[in-house]
């Protein structure tokens, strides 16, 4: 047997090899079991919500209608979309979040590069302050920041020109300013990631650029940024996703912005009852009897949650392969 195996160019099946193979099999078996269990833990709530969302409103209480809806219907989706004003809110939120994420990424990128490569006195102290900003929950500064945007002014410049400070409350400009100045949600973390990314790049590229006479901006945009692609992708995706989900800053500074999905969602699900009755004229007549039922309201709330969440899933599925690779290569580890 052994000789035959050797003749055919295979490794002979010795006892040690068999043991090794068995061990490898057991290990990979356990790996799959754990991965599947944990994936179930993550996916189950989402899947069950999807199933509820597709259930015909009349079947919501049916005990037989678990996981697979007894009668499939898109009625819940229709009502939830009306409730969130989805056709208007979705494009607006896509655009708004993109601007916020862009501003946040750029400001974090500049600061990160400064901390990684450009030595100046006091740099380490400022970096310690960046870490400090990560530690303080943004909710703590609500009142001072609120007042700041109510009388927005940078060192008295605007007062000098127009005679009175700007009131940025209730406009998206407040959020743009916040993120452009690197103080948005989790900006400190992004600065940290960018610092690690830029530090992991080889010095030689930049040195060569300087010797060839490129200035600092040219080196940054022409040499550093193209090689830091994975890091930029990582931060861009995180920033987009978290800005999308952030209700705190928008609620505080731009409360009337009903077109921001997360805010619309919070308002609608705060009292599904009211939200439903306000659109009741548009709800199909034959479901009117459901309007006061708590099961129906919870199904609508779940569908609304999915509506807010789904665009992110689509986005994530588009970038996920690059995102995961990017994390590996971005040198977050440094």
Residues of this chain, 145-174, that bind other proteins according to CB under 8 A: 145, 147-148, 150-151, 154
Closest by CA to 244, choosing from 324, 307, 308, is 308
| H/E segment holding residue 321 | helix 294-329
Q: Which is nearer to other proteins, 7 or 42 (CB)?
A: 42
Cα–Cα nearest to 267, from 255, 277, 279: 255
- Sequential DSSP letters for 230-262: HHHHHHHHHHHHHHHH--HHHHHH-TT-TTSHH
Selected range binding other proteins among 9-17, 78-86, 281-289, 302-310, rule: CB under 8 A: 302-310
Considering only residues 191, 232, 276, 299, which one is a binding residue for other proteins as defined by CB under 8 A?
191
35 binds other proteins (CB under 8 A): yes
Q: What is the CA radius of gyration of the chain?
A: 27
Binders of other proteins among residues 309 to 328 (CB under 8 A) are: 309, 312-313, 316-317, 320-321, 323-324, 327-328
Question: Helices in 55-151 by DSSP H: which ranges?
Answer: 75-84, 86-117, 123-135, 142-150
- Chain residues 74-133 in contact with other proteins, contact rule CB under 8 A: 107, 110-111, 113-115, 118-121, 123, 126, 129-133
- Structure-block tokens of residue 74: 């898109």
- Among candidate residues 244, 246, 251, the one with its CA nearest the CA of residue 309: 244
307 touches other proteins by CB under 8 A: no
For other proteins, which stretch binds (CB under 8 A), given 12-20, 83-91, 176-184, 274-282? 176-184
Applying CB under 8 A, among 17, 141, 218, 274 the residue interacting with other proteins is: 141
Instruction: Spell out, one character per residue from 255 to 284, where the chain touches other proteins: x when CB under 8 A holds, - when not.
Output: -------x--xx--x---------------
């Amino acid at each position: 047997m052994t000789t035959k195996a050797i003749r055919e160019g295979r490794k002979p099946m010795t006892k040690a090899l068999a043991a090794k193979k068995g061990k490898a099999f057991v290990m990979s078996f356990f790996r799959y079991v754990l991965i599947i269990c944990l994936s179930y833990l993550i996916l189950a709530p989402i899947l069950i919500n999807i199933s509820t969302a597709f259930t015909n409103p009349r079947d919501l209480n049916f005990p037989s209608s678990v996981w697979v809806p007894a009668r499939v219907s898109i009625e819940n989706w229709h009502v939830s979309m009306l409730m969130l004003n989805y056709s208007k809110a979705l494009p607006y939120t896509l655009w708004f979040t993109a601007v916020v994420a862009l501003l946040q990424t750029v400001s974090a990128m500049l600061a990160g590069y400064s901390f990684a490569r450009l030595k100046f006195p006091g740099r380490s102290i400022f970096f310690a302050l960046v870490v400090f900003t990560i530690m303080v929950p943004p909710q703590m500064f609500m009142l001072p920041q609120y007042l700041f945007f109510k009388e927005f002014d940078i060192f008295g410049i605007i007062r000098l020109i127009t005679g009175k400070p700007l009131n940025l409350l209730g406009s998206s400009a407040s959020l743009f300013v916040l993120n452009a100045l690197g103080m948005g949600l989790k900006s400190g973390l992004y600065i940290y990631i960018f610092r690690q990314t830029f530090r992991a790049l080889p010095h030689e590229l930049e040195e060569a650029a300087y010797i060839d006479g490129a200035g600092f901006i040219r080196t940054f945009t022409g040499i550093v940024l193209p090689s830091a692609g994975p890091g930029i992708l990582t931060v861009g995706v995180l920033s987009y996703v978290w800005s999308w989900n952030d209700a705190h800053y928008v609620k505080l500074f731009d409360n009337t912005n009903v077109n921001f999905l997360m805010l619309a969602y919070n308002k609608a699900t705060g009292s599904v009852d009211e939200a439903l009755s306000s659109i009741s004229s548009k709800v199909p007549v034959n479901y009117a009897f459901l309007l006061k039922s708590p099961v129906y309201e919870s199904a609508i709330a779940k569908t609304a949650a999915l509506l807010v969440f789904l665009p992110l899933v689509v986005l994530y599925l588009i970038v996920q392969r690059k995102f995961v690779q990017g994390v590996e290569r971005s040198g977050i580890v440094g």
